[in-house]
């Protein structure tokens, strides 16, 4: 049954000249059929570069929207319309407008986990892997950073007094759930383990970590590290991928696995339906995309 579905997906993909991009947090069966797996920055770059006519984006909505803005002539399909990112919806254009009014000298750097409307109001976007570089290089001392307060606090700790960041109260419900006490309790079980966390985690977690990395950064770090045991502060889908790719290493979540239910919505049948029925196509008004692409182009300047 599953094999049958996989064969049908492969056949449709070839017939329609489509490519499947999937984020590291997707369920294993979707990761397995993807042509490319990656973090937000890697997938954005791929979306801008791939040659196929159709991109099936297995991730959450802001990622598929980013792909569409960067590749406007391609058809971009999001297999599940209900796969959103709650953090991306936490800030409204009105709230960003108020921050801009209160800080007229500041430039706006927006985490890619955001709506197209917010991106269109921004000077630059960033992902978790290049956020510090984008902020360091932007031509302003004062920066409004939205929507993730945890990533914002991490960037501030890295850039020091060179830049002043004005933060918004958004957060990721998955990473924000990881507590310092959970890391410490896991560390008691595995005292030699290196602690590797995502910058969307709370500052109290970041402060006790050995490494703070994007999902793509974690993959590279674990593969290259001579250490054997790791406590990983991020979503479980990435931990599963790292276990498959690093059979000699021991990887533990902070006490219990943390799951992004939005990332887990996409199943093989949804990928099949997306290809078969051309659904759900991402459409963005040209005038809006034109404003948002400038901030995304700034993001793509930094690795
Ligand atoms: P990465 O860019 O590190 O893959 O993160 C995306 C994300 O949504 C984290 O929650
Ligand atoms: Fe959004 Fe958090 Fe899920 Fe990433 S893990 S998609 S930031 S809710």
Q: Record the pTM.
A: 0.97
Q: What is the model's pLDDT at position 281? A: 98
- Cα separation, 264 vs 60, in Å, equals 10
CATH 3.10.105.10 for domain 2-83+263-284: no
> Which pLDDT band holds residue 302 (cuts at 50, 70, 90)?
very high
- Cα separation, 151 vs 170, in Å, equals 10
Q: What is the model's pLDDT at position 20? A: 98
Smallest CA separation from ligand 1 atom 8, residue: 113
CATH of the domain spanning 178-253: 3.40.50.10800
Residue 26's beta-bridge partner residues? none
What ranges do the domains of the chain cover? 2-83+263-284, 87-171, 178-253
10 Å CB burial of residue 192 (0-12, 13-18, 19+) is exposed
Q: Distance, CA 4 to ligand 1 centroid (Å)?
A: 31
pLDDT of 303 higher than 90: no
Q: What is the model's pLDDT at position 1? A: 86
CATH 3.40.50.10800 for domain 87-171: yes
Q: Distance, CA 216 to ligand 1 centroid (Å)?
A: 9
Can you tell me the mean pLDDT for 252-280?
98
Can you tell me the mean pLDDT for 53-72?
97
- Cα separation, 49 vs 35, in Å, equals 13
- Cα separation, 117 vs 96, in Å, equals 10
Q: Rounded mean pLDDT of the chain? A: 97
CB within 6 Å of ligand 1 — which residues?
24, 39-40, 113, 127-128, 172, 200, 214-215
Q: What is the model's pLDDT at position 85? A: 98
Q: Do domains 2-83+263-284 and 178-253 have the same CATH topology?
A: yes
> Which pLDDT band holds residue 262 (cuts at 50, 70, 90)?
very high
- Cα separation, 18 vs 11, in Å, equals 10
H-helix or E-strand containing 116? helix 116-120
H-helix or E-strand containing 30? helix 28-33
């Amino acid at each position: 049954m599953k094999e049958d579905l996989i064969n049908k997906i492969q056949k449709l993909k070839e017939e329609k000249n489509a490519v499947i991009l999937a984020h590291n947090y997707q369920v294993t069966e979707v990761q397995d059929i993807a042509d490319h797996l990656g973090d937000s920055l890697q997938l954005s770059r791929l979306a801008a570069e791939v040659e196929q006519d159709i991109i099936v984006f297995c991730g959450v909505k802001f990622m598929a929207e980013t792909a569409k803005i960067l590749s406007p002539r391609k058809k971009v399909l999001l297999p599940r319309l209900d796969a959103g990112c709650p953090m991306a919806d936490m800030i409204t254009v009105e709230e960003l407008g108020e921050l801009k009014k209160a800080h007229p000298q500041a430039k706006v750097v927006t985490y890619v986990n955001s709506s197209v409307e917010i991106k269109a109001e921004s000077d630059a976007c960033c992902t978790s892997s290049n956020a510090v570089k984008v902020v360091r290089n932007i031509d302003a001392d004062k920066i409004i950073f939205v929507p993730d307060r945890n990533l914002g606090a991490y960037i501030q700790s890295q850039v020091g007094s060179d830049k002043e960041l004005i933060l918004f109260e958004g957060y990721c419900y998955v990473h924000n759930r990881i507590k310092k006490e959970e890391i410490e309790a896991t560390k008691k079980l595995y005292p030699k383990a290196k602690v590797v966390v995502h910058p969307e985690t709370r500052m109290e977690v970041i402060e006790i970590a050995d490494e703070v990395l994007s999902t793509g950064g974690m993959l590279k770090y674990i593969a290259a590290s001579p250490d054997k045991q790791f406590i990983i502060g991020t979503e479980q889908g990435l931990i599963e991928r790292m276990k498959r790719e690093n059979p000699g290493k021991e990887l533990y979540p902070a006490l219990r696995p943390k799951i992004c239910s939005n990332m887990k919505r996409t199943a093989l049948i949804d990928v099949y339906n997306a290809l078969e029925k051309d659904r759900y196509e991402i459409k963005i008004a040209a005038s809006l995309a034109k404003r948002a692409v400038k901030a995304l182009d700034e993001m793509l300047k930094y690795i």
